[in-house]
Structure 1
Amino acid sequence: MIMKNKAEEAAKQILSAFESPESLPGPIARVIVNRRDGSPCRKWSWRNQLIVAINGYSEARGFRQWDKVERRVKKGEKSIRILSPLSKSIKDKNDEDRIMVYGFRGTPVFGIEQTEGKPITGCDREVLAWLNDLPLREVADAWGLSVEAYNGSGANYAGVYRHDQSIALGVKDLSTWCHELVHAADHRNGKLQGSSKPSQEIVAQLGSSVILTILGFKHDADLGRCWSYIQQFAGESTDKALKKCGEVLDRTCDAVALILDEAERLSLEPAANSERGETNETI
């Protein structure tokens, strides 16, 4: 109950700030993830890179592309499909040749973890370090969620949660990260349903700000964007948006408490194991 009470206290402070939205700071500028490791998939569309990321892979290639770097797809691995354009040459009204895209086909590719062979060099250490250092990353790991990044330039989504499988991020932004983690907690609480719905998006965005406020990342809580986002899903009037927040307040606090309780449990595990004499050392 301690974490639930902390979540409720922080949420009420945030809702109080929302009562005068004109006094909220402006949204923080997001830093787009732009991976620079030379992998062929970095040249793919953001949609295809997102497909790779939500499947839990840092990079992916086709059979021949893996052959070129002396890696082989492991026996029994199933491909994921990206969308490749179908095009043809046509004559325009000036009788000049131009390329027209008339459709797409699914192209099979495999993630690096599905292959074996010569080590790949040139990984994007900066992005990997950022992903590993995300606050509460251990909670996602404990819940079996992979966390990957995709190039967010031009993307329609800053982040995506795939049920019980992964979180993909297209921006270096703690608010977006916590938004997707709250979706995961909401799902574990049995409240998340299907595709994007106003209530679950309000839960995720408000929950994100609550978490970051509790952890001391008040600047990253990004109340200006949080309010704009909630208004987008709740309606234009302040009263209507605040009412919607109130309707999902308990659900939001339950999701936040689940995350913080899990983080606390994980932080106590090493101490508990030590008291029982459990170590990873071999004699």
Structure 2
Amino acid sequence: MTPTYVAGFRAFLDLNRCVRKGERAIRILAPCPVKERDDAGEETGERKVFFRSVPVFDVSMTDPLPGKDPVVLEPPSEPITGDSHHHLLAPLVELAGELGYTIEFRDLDEHGPRGWCDAKHKQIVIAAGPANCQVRTLTHEIAHALGIGYADYGREQAEVLVDCVTYVVCSSAGLDIDGESIPYVAGWGEDGALEAVRRYADTVDTVARRIEDALIADSQAEPVEQTKSVA
């Protein structure tokens, strides 16, 4: 089963839905932001994101509460809209260049992938569309370029790890991708893939910090010019 809309037991009650008796929870690692403090206990302004295991259920495991109309659920995988974070594209493109990758913005099938990282040819392709969606996808693909590939981690584990990186980076930049990342990670979390986050927490943190450092260092870069071709 591929989850489409996941939430906790009580959260579904608030949506006028109830988890059916006998359904088994999906275990996911939920982000838990923590403010860092110095030795004196004062907040440093820095924030770290940890992950803890929580039980969730997919909407397909629920039924409407008797006598109540279920709250209409927005699809969690809708593309991120808006261009509020367009300024982050330039430093991301520059970081990819430092890693030896070229970036191509291309018209892609709306029902297909929004981008990919071709490690063999050192190319990252990103779908044309809203800048915020491109930032999210480009961050994801750069995480692959930084070494989280299928050959070393396996497809399922690699996808879980890179989207955890993506969540950390985008959240720190003020871009809300909860609706995409949590179902995405849950969808790839079969066969123990989520255990990869526990085993490779340091890898997630290191890669996320590498991307965050690039965004901070180049936050004043000129807007990126997108060279686009039609797929």
Does the 8 Å contact 2:103/2:124 carry over to 1? yes
CA gap of 1:135–1:227, structure 2 versus 1, over 3 A, is: farther
Residue of structure 2 equivalent to 1:57: none
1:226 aligned partner: 181
**In the alignment, which residue of structure 2 is the partner of 1:213?**
171
Aligned length: 155
Question: What amino acid is the match of 2:186?
Answer: Q
Structure 1 gaps of 5+ residues are 33-125, 269-283
Match for 1:9 among 14, 36, 48?
A: 48
Q: Is the 8 A contact 2:156 2:189 kept in 1?
A: yes
Is it true that 1:175 corresponds to 2:136 in the alignment? Answer: yes
Aligned-partner SS, 2:116: strand
Q: Is the CA contact (8 Å cut-off) linking 2:157 and 2:194 kept in structure 1?
A: no
Paired with 1:267 and 1:150, the residues of 2 have a C-alpha distance of 24
Distance 1:28 1:155, change over 3 A: closer
Alignment check: 8 A CA contact 1:26 1:225 kept: no
1:27 corresponds to: 76
Is contact 1:131-1:147 (8 Å) kept? no
Gaps of 5+ in 2: 1-35, 37-44, 58-73, 221-231
Q: Report if the CA contact (8 A) 2:161-2:196 is conserved.
A: no
Kindly indicate whether the alpha-carbon contact (under 8 Å) linking 1:161 and 1:168 is maintained by their aligned counterparts in 2: yes
- Give the direction of change, closer, same or farther, for the CA distance of 1:198–1:8 in structure 2 (3 Å limit): farther
TM-score for both structures, normalised by structure 2: 0.52
Q: Which among 176, 179, 204 is matched to residue 252 of structure 1?
A: 204
**Does structure 1 conserve the Cα–Cα contact (< 8 Å) formed by 2:117 and 2:125?**
yes
Pair 227,133 (structure 1): closer, same or farther in 2 beyond 3 Å:
closer
- SS of the residue corresponding to residue 89 of structure 2 reads coil
Q: For 2:151, what is the secondary structure of its paired residue?
A: coil
Using a 3 Å threshold, how does the CA distance of structure 1 residues 31 and 253 change in structure 2: closer, same or farther? closer
Cα pair 1:7 1:211 within 8 Å, conserved: no
After TM superposition, the runs of 4+ consecutive aligned structure 1 residues lying more than 6 A away are 5-8
TM-superposed deviation, 1:153:
2.1
Partner secondary structure for residue 194 of structure 1: helix
SS at structure 2 position matched to 1:9: strand
The aligned counterpart of 1:66 is: none
Supply the distance in 2 between the matched residues of 1:133 and 1:225 (Cα, whole angstroms).
19
Q: 1:200 aligns with which of 158, 171, 174?
A: 158
* Partner SS for 2:48: helix
Cα pair distance change 1:7/1:175, threshold 3 Å: farther
For 1:160 and 1:200, the matched residues in 2 are separated by: 13
Aligned partner of 1:156 in structure 2 is: 112
Change in Cα spacing, 1:183 to 1:155, as seen in structure 2 (3 Å) is: same
Q: Which amino acid aligns with 1:160?
A: W
Q: TM-score normalized by structure 1?
A: 0.44
CA drift of 1:21 comes to 4.7
Which residue of structure 1 lines up, in the alignment, with residue 64 of structure 2?
A: none
SS in 1 for 2:104: strand
Which of these two proteins has the greater Rg computed from alpha carbons?
1
Q: How does 1:1-283 map to 2 (within 5 A)?
A: 9-10=48-49, 12=50, 15-16=51-52, 19=54, 21=56, 27=76, 29-30=78-79, 134=89, 136-137=91-92, 138-163=94-119, 165-170=122-127, 172=130, 173=133, 174-185=135-146, 187=147, 191-194=148-151, 197-217=155-175, 219=176, 222-235=177-190, 243-264=195-216
- Which one has a larger percent helix, Structure 1 or Structure 2? 1
Please tell me the residue identity of whatever aligns with 2:125: A
* Counterpart Cα distance in 1 of 2:104 and 2:87: 10
